[in-house]
Structure 1
Amino acid sequence: MVDKINPTSLSVQSLTSNFKPGALPVSSTDQTGVASTSFEDALQAQLGRPSTVRLSAHAQRRLSNHNITFGGEEAVRLEQAVEKAASKGSRESLILMDDLALVVNIQNRVVVTAVDADRRKENVFTNIDSVVLM
């Protein structure tokens, strides 16, 4: 048997009874001296994922073997592409940036493999659920 909820019986206490003080990490204090945390810190703590994209050992080898440098501007664009894919619910995404094709595990924020323009023509990309063009 399922009980129906009576809206008149709801109270602040019943709605907040599962609230656990201190569940979010505290990273600083604001001007009033009250402990606070940034939204990003709280979000990252709740999601349990790192805030930056990392390269797997395989992807690092691929980039270095083909003398491909991956600088700050590319890292920012990659981060933006990963955020776009994550916002759409992607799990494994092919990100096409300039002359690079990167397969990225969106949930773990890890570049699984990297393929340059010459080798990209010879490949079939499998096990991806989205493509991001940057």
Structure 2
Amino acid sequence: MSRVDGGKIEYNPLLYSVRVSRTSQGNVARESSNKASSTAFNEILREAVQKEQAVKFSKHAQIRMRQRNISLSQQEIDLIGQAIEKAKAKGVRDSLVLMGNLAFIVNVPTKTIVTAVDGESIKESVFTNIDGAVVL
């Protein structure tokens, strides 16, 4: 710390070195905190990207799937995801995805299955407001 005494500045190196030491310890603490924050941010970002890439199901689709006893394996969900990517590549916004005896209406930009129809209901259905279809 310095002291002004009648226009004269006195310098105390011992106090100064303690402050430097505390500052550098603070920087080390900040650096490790920054690394932890960076790691946490990277983890959150990775999870967000995975969620963004995942196929989602609207509440309506979940209800319809329960009512119609439609269950999908992870492999089938992955196939629908691939169909969504194909539709996206062609500029489709709302797609009909046909997979075996199942049909799904999908909002392509959000990768959200909006509704699901089983084999018996497909025969009676008219699909509207779609601009593309993918047959698996």
Q: TM-score range by the shorter chain?
A: 0.5 to 0.7
- Identity over aligned pairs, percent: 43
1:98 corresponds in structure 2 to 100
Corresponding residue SS for 2:53: coil
Q: Is residue 2:61 matched to residue 1:74?
A: no
1:27 corresponds in structure 2 to 42
Deviation of 1:27 after TM superposition, in Å, equals 3.3
Corresponding pairs, count: 92
Of 64, 67, 71, 1:65 maps to 67
Normalising to structure 1: TM-score of the pair?
0.64
Q: Which runs of 5+ in 1 are unaligned?
A: 1-25, 29-40
Of 116, 125, 128, 1:126 maps to 128
Higher helix proportion, which one? 2
2:20 corresponds in structure 1 to none
Deviation of 1:100 after TM superposition, in Å, equals 0.7
1: CA distance between counterparts of 2:52 and 2:72?
19
* Matching residue's letter, 2:97: I
2: CA distance between counterparts of 1:51 and 1:98?
24
Q: Deviations over 1:38-73 (max 9, x none)?
A: xxx6xx5xxxx8111101111111111111111111
Of 109, 112, 128, 2:111 maps to 109
CA RMSD of aligned residues (A): 1.9
